[in-house]
Amino acid sequence: MTKIGFIGLGNMGAKMTLNLLKANYEVIGYDINKESVNNLLAKGLKQATNLSQIAKFADIVITMLPNGDIVEEVYDNIIDEFAPGTLFVDCSTIEVNKAKQLHMKCENKNILSLDAPVSGGVGGAEQATLTFMVGGTEKAYKMMLPLFEVMGKKSLLCGSFGSGQATKACNNMLLATTMIGVGEAFSLGQNLGLDPKKLFEILSTSTGSCWAINSYCPIKGVGPASPADDDFRPGFSADLMLKDLTIALKAIESTNTSAPYGKNSRENFERMVNANQGSLDFSAITKFNK
């Protein structure tokens, strides 16, 4: 069976790794946080004490790391140690141009690569319902597909190198903008004396229907359980949303795209984070803007 290396065993990576272990894959993991590694050892994870051990062991290496600079550092540290044909899959969310640069580094070493950021948050990682937005070659995608199916409910090869990150930038810009609009709609409804539960019934089944209402309603006690029912304990933090919107802004600027609402959303989340509210779930933006 395919041997897997997993680098980055934080909130997302640990749960993705656990699903691979449950499917009886052989996984060796590395994280600078030893506690993250130790929590998985009893589940069958093999521990790597350095990145070179990952390179020597794995047929496929998956990274889930905080930013593009860290991903690049990992690639640069071990890319020369891989056998040709090894597959590098980055599930982090990083800049589109950075993803393309990393693909070229792999291609120059005869190493396969995919950029495959995810949507679904910690809950999706735990329940194996993530969506993978994938950029790369058909050959690399087919090699990775069985693992995508273990860790998520959907994966799509969106195009060539960087297409996964480009798709993620578009998705999260839309999500941020939509969530702000949902908050404004419920705020207006409250000021007009509407029952929020009845407003939800209409919005969730009419032309205003969207994921931010139907599955992640930011109003306590309204709709399915969401972070709003738990003091906005994060499934996906405002800090992370600001990071993703900053990535989207770079793409907007580099392509001269007109996206005033996307830019405005980033400004709103920047104010929220600067007010020391970044650890809250991103849906708390609906309360912060009041």
Q: Which residues are catalytic?
A: 168
Encode 57-98 in three state secondary structure. HCCEEEECCCCHHHHHHHHHHHHHHCCCCCEEEECCCCCHHH
Chain-centroid distance, C-alpha 289: 24
Among 27, 24, 100, smallest CA distance to 60 is for: 27
Determine contact, residues 213/199, Cβ cutoff 8 Å: no
Question: What radius of gyration do the chain's Cα atoms show?
Answer: 20
89 beta partners: 62, 114
SS3 of 274, please?
A: helix
Proportion of the chain in helix, strand, coil states, percent, rounded to 5: 55, 15, 30
Q: Enumerate residues 6+ apart whose C-beta is below 8 A from 178.
A: 210, 211, 212
